[in-house]
Amino acid sequence: MATGKIVKIIAHSILRRMLLAMKSLRVSTVAAAVIAILSYAAAPFARAQTDKPVPGELKVKPSKETRSPAEGDTPDKSDAKDRDKDKGKDDEKEPPPKVTEHTLTVGGKTIHYRATAGYMVMRDWNEKKKQEDGEGDRRREPSPSPAKEADKSKDKDGKDKDEPKQKAKVFYVAYTRTDVGNDPAKRSITYSFNGGPGSASVWLHLGALGPRRTELTDRGEAPLAPYHLVDNEATWLDATDLVFIDPVSTGYSRSAAGEDPKQFHGFKEDLASVGDFIRLYTSRNARWASPKFIIGESYGTTRAAGLSDYLQERYGFYVNGIILVSSVLDFSSIRFGPGNDRPYPLFLPSYTAAAWYHKRLPPEMQSKSLSDVLRESENFASNQYLLALNRGDQLDENQRKELAGNLARLTGLSADAIAQSHFRIPARRFFFDLLKDKNRSIGRYDARFTGIRYEPGTEEYDFDPSYEAVLGPYSAMMNDYLRRELKFESDLPYEMIADVRPWNYANVAQNQYLDVAEDLRKAMSRNPYLKLWVCCGYYDLATPYSAAQNVMHGMQLDPAIRDNLRMTFYEAGHMIYINKPSLLQFRTDAGNFMQDALKPRVVPAAEP
């Protein structure tokens, strides 16, 4: 305290003498400024002296990290800047992935593989190119010497300081066999993702393709918790290396600090970010010479079809095969709305499949096989039903009764209710009406599943029982698997289904339904070696199999490449692989497809 008083006395003495000197010069404004400066300079010193502990008292001064400003105190701005600077440095570091070694027995043979779980930092290479091309800030200083410029471009660790800024960190899990040699041309690689938009890649990863699988019942029902992972006897890893991609905002993937995640939430934006990840992974892992496949499910099929054209155009990146699971390429085929009658006939065969499964068809129909009732439903949908919808109110009373009766026979619904809705049965109504008398709804993703209604007798949406059947087991196993087996730890929530709404379609087409079938046709026309495999489930009421068929035939592929398309149908739902028999068949079919896609051949393009 004595020291503090001495400081104050000295300061006042100096100020008094300066005031006397300045009075003669009549510079009062300067004096005021000097007074303020000296007072500001002396105050911290005096405060520091008073903060010293008195004898016998233990007083610990908080560190910058733990200290909280006292009431009325102002935090040190330099501390905030330092923290932001450190945070920026952390953001620029690309976190190393976790790598683990494993073995698995597939088909009686032991395979060795490496699992890699981590982030790929995505940077704004386009912005860097603009700057290099002179499209950035044109107020430039004279260019320094090459030697000085080279020194400036490196930090103290010798790293390039001119790298483009981070845009996002994309989380991925990759599996690479380590017992098949090092020639990339002899080992294919498959890039996999799910849909949503907003879905992580967990479903294909732990349901069908990966070396480990979430255990469900043979029909795909959730068992009692705790859930378990089992070795996946249907994995594709024996035939191809696998890379599972979580698009930005899904799984552990996030936009970089200061970057708006909305810039990734749109059709074209998503193609650019996922396409750049595929290019970057391929380059860093020296896989350009490998045969390459892409598999997507649900909206992931939309992404895969878009990528077929985008990767060719943007990077000259040609793939050998594209696999579409539960396909939606033209959204007008599945979106119910005023003025769009297209989905109604395309959903009808799937309604028939669901009604047959739950034994709601008339006895003469119920006694037939699934394939027989579907054939009858498909024929009616593409002929009488389609024509009747096109005629609108021109149908007479007898025609209306006949149409309502036929639809009731094929759906298990009331003929009167069908006629009342002008013969148009939206999917939501079918979910709730088929088993209304039992107070049950059926699944949208898989019509085999049923759930207890919240609001009996209404069309108020409650939940999808087929989604709830898999969400708990898959979520638990993914979180457990990443930490315990793959050794990747994060406190972020693993977003199984992220909210990425509104998804931007504005840059695609105004007042139109998104349609990427044309993108796929272009890609197949430019690359006649590209093979396409479309997989559908009969009980899928989200992306019905008949809609996929209709869109594929509507592509009107040239006869020279028409055989590059194959379609396979399973007695399953949207996630065809949760049904055990379908899972095993899916693996066999995949092996056949890849062998066909890689069969040596030459497509003549320069014949006279």
Q: What is the pLDDT of residues 214-265, one digit of tens each?
A: 999 999 999 999 999 999 999 999 999 999 999 999 999 999 999 999 999 9
Asked whether 196 and 250 are in contact (CB, 8 A), the reply is: yes
**Per-residue pLDDT tens for 536-557?**
999 999 999 999 999 999 999 9
**Per-residue pLDDT tens for 165-214?**
899 999 999 999 999 999 999 999 999 999 999 999 999 999 999 999 99
What would the 3-class secondary structure string for 319-349 be?
Answer: CCEEEEECCCCEHHHCCCECCECCHHHHHHH
Distance CA 255, CA 264 (A): 8
The two structure tokens encoding residue 573: 């739902």
Stretch 440-462: mean pLDDT, rounded? Answer: 91
Q: Is 29 exposed, middle or buried (0-12, 13-18, 19+ CB in 10 A)?
A: exposed
Residue 144 CA to its chain's centroid (Å): 45
pLDDT, mean over the chain:
85
Contacts 24+ apart (CB under 8 A), 504-510: 504/262, 504/265, 504/266, 504/267, 504/268, 504/269, 505/266, 505/267, 506/266, 507/266, 507/267, 507/268, 508/267, 508/268
Distance CA 431, CA 351 (A): 9
Asked whether 278 and 311 are in contact (CB, 8 A), the reply is: yes
The two structure tokens encoding residue 218: 């043979």
Domain borders along the chain are 98-135+161-332+497-597, 343-463
Asked whether 299 and 542 are in contact (CB, 8 A), the reply is: no
Name the packing angle between helices 370-380 and 343-357 (round to 10°).
160
Stretch 359-375: mean pLDDT, rounded? Answer: 98
What is the full DSSP assignment across 189-245?
EEEEE--TTTB-THHHIIIIISSEEE---TTS---SSSP-EEE-TT-STTTEEEEEE
Of 18-22, 186-190, 396-400, 570-574, which gets the smallest average pLDDT? 18-22
Residue 488 CA to its chain's centroid (Å): 19
User: Which is higher by pLDDT, 551 or 154?
Assistant: 551
The two structure tokens encoding residue 507: 């840059």
Asked whether 569 and 538 are in contact (CB, 8 A), the reply is: yes
What's the confidence (pLDDT) of residue 160?
A: 54
> What one-letter code names the amino acid at 450?
T
Contacts 24+ apart (CB under 8 A), 50-53: 50/1, 50/4
Of 39-48, 127-136, 467-476, which gets the smallest average pLDDT? 39-48
Helix intervals (H) in 412-445: 415-420, 427-433
Distance CA 356, CA 442 (A): 13
Q: Give residues with Cβ within 8 angstroms of 7, minimum separation 6.
A: 42, 45, 46, 49
The two structure tokens encoding residue 170: 């994309």
Identify the CATH class of 98-135+161-332+497-597. alpha beta
**Per-residue pLDDT tens for 505-538?**
987 766 689 999 999 999 999 999 999 999 999 9
Q: Is the pLDDT of residue 153 over 60?
A: no
The two structure tokens encoding residue 258: 């200061």
Per DSSP, the three-state class of 53 is coil
Asked whether 240 and 246 are in contact (CB, 8 A), the reply is: no
Q: Give residues with Cβ within 8 angstroms of 572, minimum separation 6.
A: 220, 446, 537, 538, 539, 540, 578, 579, 582
Distance CA 175, CA 190 (A): 10
